[in-house]
Chain A
Amino acid sequence: MSVDLTTIVNLTAAGITLMLLSYLYKENRFFRIAEHAYMGAAAAYTTLISIDTAWTYLYDYVSKGHWWWWLTIPIGLLYIFFFTRKYFYLYRYPTAIVMGIGMGTIVSRYIKTQFLEQIRATIYESTTTQYLLPKPLDGILISIGVLTALFYFYFTMEFKGPLNTIAKIGRYTLIAGFGGSFGLTVMARISLFIGRVRFLYFTHPGPYICVVAAIMLIASITLDYMKKSK
């Protein structure tokens, strides 16, 4: 009997999925093994892809005579000094370069995109776009929500009387926003679970692994119950 590679891969994937899900019953050794294996595999895969990508760029640029690209190798290797106490400061050089380039790229755009454009879009959208309700109602709701939520974070005076009501409306707006985020998060988690369950049920040999896992789970519950009874 021959077993092809896909079956072995699916068998491993199904096994690891169930080992990770076993945490829902209780903390156990199988979960720990799968957790560490997942972390290790992900790190190894990312490293391999990164090295391959770096080499592709480096080789091409160096072969075109851009010799200074060789400098990226010693600079990149300085990251290894993270693991030493004596030469830890060397690790800061590549970090500083990456952080500097990152910050330079992001900060210049940040104020426009995340601040100025958001103010403009809020004013513009609240007057022109229809989301759920008829046009004027949507705009009015957005305007009230934005203004009262901003007012809630105004700390230089005590909220009394009508000011307290405005702050309260702002708080309810924020809570509605958090509720929406929570609902979407739940939806996302269920979707991910559905993805794994569909994989387990419809990918050979997933269903067999499920049966074995179910037997193991029942045995585990029975053993726990017997221990408790004693």
Chain B
Amino acid sequence: MESKKPMTIWEKLENMDVRYIYLLMWVAISLPILRPIGIPLGRYSIETLGLYNFIDKLPPGSIVVFIDDQSPAAAAECHPAEIAIFQHCVNKGLKVLFYASRAEAVPFIESTLQKVLGASKDHPDYGKKYVNLGFIPQYEVGLAALAANMFYTVKDAYGNDIKTLPFFQNLPTGTAKDWAIVIYYGASSVDWVVRQITDVYGTKTGGGVAAVLSSRIYPYFPDKVVGFTNGLKGAAEYEILVKRPGDAAAGMDAQSLGHLVIVIFIILGNLGYFISKRRRM
């Protein structure tokens, strides 16, 4: 009878049950969440600084449009960025117009208002500086219609006639030309915002996007997209810049350790592959 050759450590690693990696990842992420280590963030990225500097230079009263396109799944990355950027707008005295291009994103607008202002429709500045238009369907078509005529939406999310709100009084054109910047929050695509706003009206675009979208946003950066927060790291950077550390900054230790585990396993996996291949040859 032929005896089985004992597996080498590299072969064992190659055939390791993937569930051990999941478990290790859970542990690596849980430990810094439960007991923060304080791993430094490193220098600010040019993408985050681009957006921060652009907003910082806007004169008070400029209109910033927030497009919420984040699904609950992408909220961990996009929502902290939205809160931090809105905080910056509030600090600078800018006017902010919110709307959701995806039905599931509607609650995030309310949450952002609550977390930064402590109130939404009951806030004294609601209707003057901040307006929530709620859900506008049909993504690109909806945005194109809003950009062409801001009054087409008729009512805000709380049923107020938008023509009665001070926010919409004395607008020079009532179109996207009046906007200083459009900031997109989500994980799907920023193409349609650039297509319908930047290339038509010249209004710049920004983003508080999930990292998975970053590779699609780079072709527009920094010409059309002035800057964006790249995933949790970008959101954490913006939180630190506006001196409001929140969920993103708190999650960065876990992010760093999680990446470390992945890098180690990629190196081990590759080593195992090449060593086993060499032995077989």
Contacts and interface: CB of A to CB of B under 8 A. Distances in A.
Whether A associates with B in a native complex is: yes
Interface of A: 24-25, 42, 45-46, 49-50, 53-54, 56-57, 60-61, 98, 101-102, 105-106, 109-110, 112-114, 117-118, 121, 124-125, 129, 131, 177, 180-181, 184-198, 201
B106 A197 contact: no
Could you say which interface size class chain B belongs to?
35 or more
Contacts of B199: 109, 112-113, 117
Nearest to A26: B19
Given A106-B140, A187-B255, A195-B251, A113 B195 contact: yes
A45 B215 contact: no
Interface stretch (B26-34, B57-65, B113-121, B167-175): B26-34
B42 to A, nearest CB: 14
A191 B136 CA distance: 28
A24 B21 CA distance: 10
Contacts of B258: 190, 193-194
B8 interface: no
B215 A184 contact: yes
Given A187-B231, A193-B258, 6 more contacts: A25-B19, A125-B223, A185-B212, A189-B212, A191-B211, A201-B34
Contacts of B223: 121, 124-125
A54 B219 CA distance: 35
A188 B195 contact: no
Contact of A102 (B138, B214, B255): B138
Given A177-B215, A192-B76, A61 B154 contact: yes
B140 A191 contact: no
Contacts of A131: 46
Contacts of B155: 56, 60
A117 B159 CA distance: 40
B195 to A, nearest CB: 4
B210 interface: yes
A42 B104 contact: yes
A49 B76 contact: no
Given A49-B135, A109-B200, A194 B194 contact: no
Given A193-B29, A198-B33, A56 B215 contact: no
Contact of A24 (B19, B34, B254): B19
Given A125-B223, A188-B210, A56 B154 contact: yes
Nearest to B254: A194
A53 B137 CA distance: 8
A192 B247 contact: no
Given A53-B134, A113-B194, A187 B103 contact: no
9 contacts: A53-B137, A56-B155, A60-B154, A187-B233, A187-B259, A188-B74, A188-B212, A193-B25, A193-B258
B1 interface: no
Contacts of B134: 53
A46 B29 CA distance: 33
Given A61-B154, A187-B232, A102 B211 contact: no
Given A105-B140, A191-B251, A184 B214 contact: yes
